[in-house]
Structure 1
């Protein structure tokens, strides 16, 4: 069968190197399933993979995309655990293609009752927020979290989950006028301008308690000020570097306040965790989506044939949500 796939044969700007290739796909063999793209989400890491700057780079030519869900259209001999019409997570290395062949036993089922867009976004950002609040210190109801890039998808998930668990959040954003009301509607306790000396008002906001956990995905001066906002023995976790600047720290706070600096990469956690731990977490995340605790915003939808335009939209600033790429391939 003939399919289209959004691929890159070299690294570079997505607008320059992405192209829609026509490929021939065989029928599923023993133990295989044919899965059609239904919805995929674009992340900054997708841009980094195409650009050659993110994580473990793929063998070229490579299919673009990292996260999405598809529908099982056919199964090969011997496949018992999947049925036609099942919704599954797309293999991470073959997302933005009309369809793909995959080992049926390796495919992760995705709940059919979740809205399609939310199902497509359920595997990276919500689990990252879940792990950030789960793995770094024993947070108790009433504790404070401070995070930069609070309007990002992970930031919004952190706000929702923190509120659900009785935790308070101080949220840093560059465009405070735009994001104060939306973030507070999600459950944010305070929204401050990242460029200001926000650490000077943290005492007042928290009643002198300061923050037990700091979440940094920006770097540069932002994390320096964040560290100054931390309670004694507080933990600052860096899981991104949006501005590209080095993470620096005020020596005084590290020494006298015993501040702990950690790093986190969701991909590493997923590789190191066993199937039981991954399944337990994903089940919890799916339930939180059902409850509306995680409710990620979407700005635009593009068909796969317009995938290059989708990447251009994902690169542009000022969006209020994620870019979703959809597929309608059928036999």
Structure 2
């Protein structure tokens, strides 16, 4: 059996290798063998490969935070899934041809759903859903603002917000990202590098007037947090869920006590740890339904075979991409 593995930390092209690993054999009681079809490359995967993630790993290590596959074999007593079912596994280590998973750690998804989109279900859509549902609360007509709006999470925020009639102000750094976001349902898209809080505040005011922005979603941190905070309404919440700027949050402290700004954080890993499995299943099934219906999607830039996992990870690590990079673990079913 083949897998993408690392035996040390380093640059993706230097350390990610396609290797032979032991076959799984027959599943035991309550266990399921999943033949993986596709797995995306997420920022958490790249940080783990480089040794910069929140937790250390033991080598050799198989990366992969999510993916989609089909049930190949079931052990005694398994009733929730059967051979041929399309499933999203909850455990990590998805960059391999097959996974051995406990029955209760599989999310069954619509059989006819688009594989590439379902492979990305567990991270970006779930993050976007958490941002919109765990804070606020939001009501129809409310405004939210986000940076990195053209990223995978940002695209999902736009679509999920539109579903509940919540309006979005979206900040991007490139002009070519504007039209695709508007096509997804974005209300306002602004091109700004978030280096000047006063400039962003003025641009937001020009776009939406005196409308109150209730939530801000920050994937960058650093000085970008200060720019976002300046443009939010009084009593708003700024939710930091990423640190792409590789710097601590920087903002004018007066926003906290003069404007009532609340600084919050959201980490999907912590949400998964703290949330009961039945609720996780309910959330992911709801999102899978939207994916299957074609109302929730993310752009895919390229799909690489497993043998080129190192090249795939290096591609995912490059700035300026227009979509996600996926690894095809089973070319026959990857689509």
1:212, 1:34 → 2: CA distance?
A: 45
Of the structure 1 ranges 94-103 and 294-303, higher mean CA displacement relative to structure 2 is found in 94-103
Question: Deviations along 1:246-265, whole A, 9 cap, x unmatched?
Answer: 10111222111100000000
Structure 1 residue aligned with 2:261: 259
Q: 1:39 Cα shift? A: 0.7
Task: Work out whether residues 30 and 79 of structure 1, in 8 Å CA contact, stay in contact via their aligned partners in 2.
Answer: no
Q: Does 1:4 align with 2:2?
A: yes
Structure 1 residue aligned with 2:270: 268
1:29, 1:263 → 2: CA distance?
A: 39
Question: Which of 12, 15, 22 is matched with 1:14 structurally?
Answer: 12
1:313, 1:23 → 2: CA distance?
A: 25
Alpha-carbon distance change, 208 to 315 in structure 1, aligned in 2, over 3 angstroms? same
Structure 1 residue aligned with 2:66: 67
Structure 2 residue aligned with 1:183: 181
Structure 2 residue aligned with 1:85: 84
User: How high is the TM-score relative to the length of structure 2?
Assistant: 0.93
1:52, 1:110 → 2: CA distance?
A: 33
1:50, 1:92 → 2: CA distance?
A: 17
Task: Work out whether residues 40 and 96 of structure 1, in 8 Å CA contact, stay in contact via their aligned partners in 2.
Answer: yes
2:331, 2:202 → 1: CA distance?
A: 55
Question: Which of 14, 21, 24 is matched with 2:22 structurally?
Answer: 24
2:105, 2:91 → 1: CA distance?
A: 11
2:295, 2:39 → 1: CA distance?
A: 21
User: How high is the TM-score relative to the length of structure 1?
Assistant: 0.94
Question: Deviations along 1:7-35, whole A, 9 cap, x unmatched?
Answer: 11111111111112212214214223222
Partner of 1:288: helix, strand, or coil? helix
1:268, 1:221 → 2: CA distance?
A: 25
1:81, 1:182 → 2: CA distance?
A: 39
Alpha-carbon distance change, 198 to 41 in structure 1, aligned in 2, over 3 angstroms? same
1:139, 1:91 → 2: CA distance?
A: 28
Structure 1 residue aligned with 2:122: 123
1:329, 1:33 → 2: CA distance?
A: 21
Partner of 1:161: helix, strand, or coil? helix
Q: Give 1:1-331 correspondences, 5 Å limit.
A: 3-31=1-29, 32-175=31-174, 177-195=175-193, 197-328=199-330
Task: Work out whether residues 68 and 90 of structure 1, in 8 Å CA contact, stay in contact via their aligned partners in 2.
Answer: yes
Listed as ranges, the gaps of 5+ residues in structure 1 are none
Question: Deviations along 1:73-123, whole A, 9 cap, x unmatched?
Answer: 222344333321112223533211111322334333232121000110111
Listed as ranges, the gaps of 5+ residues in structure 2 are none
Alpha-carbon distance change, 295 to 26 in structure 1, aligned in 2, over 3 angstroms? closer
2:79, 2:165 → 1: CA distance?
A: 43
2:102, 2:129 → 1: CA distance?
A: 28
Partner of 1:236: helix, strand, or coil? strand
Question: Deviations along 1:137-163, whole A, 9 cap, x unmatched?
Answer: 121222111111011000011111111
